[in-house]
Amino acid sequence: MSVMTPARRAAVVELLADLVRLPSVNQSPEQANRDRAEALVADYVETVLGELGMTVERREVAPGRPNLIGRWDGPAGLPPLTLEAHMDTVGVDEMTVPPFAAEIRGEVMVGRGTCDTKGSLAAFLMALRVAREEGWRFERPVQMVAAMGEETGCEGALALVAEGAELGWVVVGEPTSCEVVVAHKGALWLEVLAHGRSAHGSVPSAGRNAISLMARVLACLEEHWIPSLAAGRHELLGSPTVNVGLIEGGEKVNVVPARCRIELDHRVLPGNSAAEVLAELRGVLRAGLGDEAEMVEVRAIKPMFPGFALDPEAPLASRMLAAVRATGTSAEPRGVSYFSDAGPFAAAGWPTVVFGPGDIRQAHGPEEFVPLAELSRAVDVVVGLLATLRRDVRE
């Protein structure tokens, strides 16, 4: 049975509207640091957590850009349950709906962050409010983390891990259409640089064309490396993928280009390491290009964003799936191709799932929205999870 009375349905919509009306745009670390991107949302969430009777810790990762940790203490001996959602959003330049008006259009709310991922943040806060109103006490501590900097590389999550934060079981808020995600791919962003030798365009034989060399590199990737990735397959995630997302080369039409570079978005399976990927790719290029491979550099642009996979039979996953089914909806464990804060948390050893209202296809989009029915259902599911941790019913 749903805990979402008409008053509670209205309250979670109001919570989300308040969050959406507070801009928290994070397009780059430089812009976000300058604008203190999450500051307004952090102040609001800190107030809500205080009203829920949580002790609140504000951990600044950059000036004016904190992670918030709200906590209800519980008996010693069991690690906490942590609900986590990030406060930042992507930019709004391409939006075709008012980004910060939190307009209700029919059965959805539109605006930046409604789906990714202020909808999850509002649902988690509302679930905690329900537990507070019902007077529940829990067998373990319960925490709410509002994280900064997810959109530019999971900065807040990485900071929490580096600080040694105790997270226990973690539910990461992302738009999963209220399905339980127990696995996602990681991401390794690679740069491939082809070196040539410049010469006048009228005598191309006097130079070495780096763009032509890169064409052979791309052919090698398409014919050898990418097909080989199909051999590695995960039950929920499928195979690794590669996207050539950027290419740059040359300086003028009448100059033989001495340099060409591409950037690759390689989505990897849980357990893959950057060192393994780099060694494999370099080996493919040596085999396909021969001596020309000496004129090609491959490097990681930044550290790999880790994937994760949790056994669907693990206690957190099985309880989440049961909580979804209790709302009258079928539930199966899912995997997704994007990465999230779940990767760093799982890599640190904390059992983690991803869950929240909204469809990932709406995230970052020009008409971002979240269905209000999903917002309420997400509250029901999280309340269902919290109900499995009650100790007041056993005393």
Tokens linked to 293: 């491979």
Predicted pLDDT of residue 362: 94
Tokens linked to 373: 């029915």
Tokens linked to 382: 């999280």
Residue 7: what residue type? Answer: A
| 242/19 Cα distance (integer angstroms) | 35
Burial-class residue 149 by CB neighbours within 10 Å (0-12, 13-18, 19+). buried
Domain total in the chain: 2
Neighbouring C-alpha atoms within 13 Å toward the C-beta of 134: 19
Q: pTM of the full predicted structure?
A: 0.94
Predicted pLDDT of residue 393: 63
Predicted pLDDT of residue 77: 85
In the chain the first and final C-alpha atoms are separated, in Å, by 24
Residue 45: what residue type? Answer: V
Q: Which of 273, 300, 327 is the last residue of a domain?
A: 300
Q: Which of 252, 274, 300 is the last residue of a domain?
A: 300
Predicted pLDDT of residue 394: 58
| 225/235 Cα distance (integer angstroms) | 21
Same domain for 28 and 145, yes or no, is: yes
Query: Residue 293 sits in a domain of what CATH number?
Result: 3.30.70.360
| 116/31 Cα distance (integer angstroms) | 19
Is the alpha carbon torsion for 206, 209, 212, 217 positive or negative? positive
- Low-confidence residues of the chain, pLDDT below 50? none
Same domain for 119 and 243, yes or no, is: no
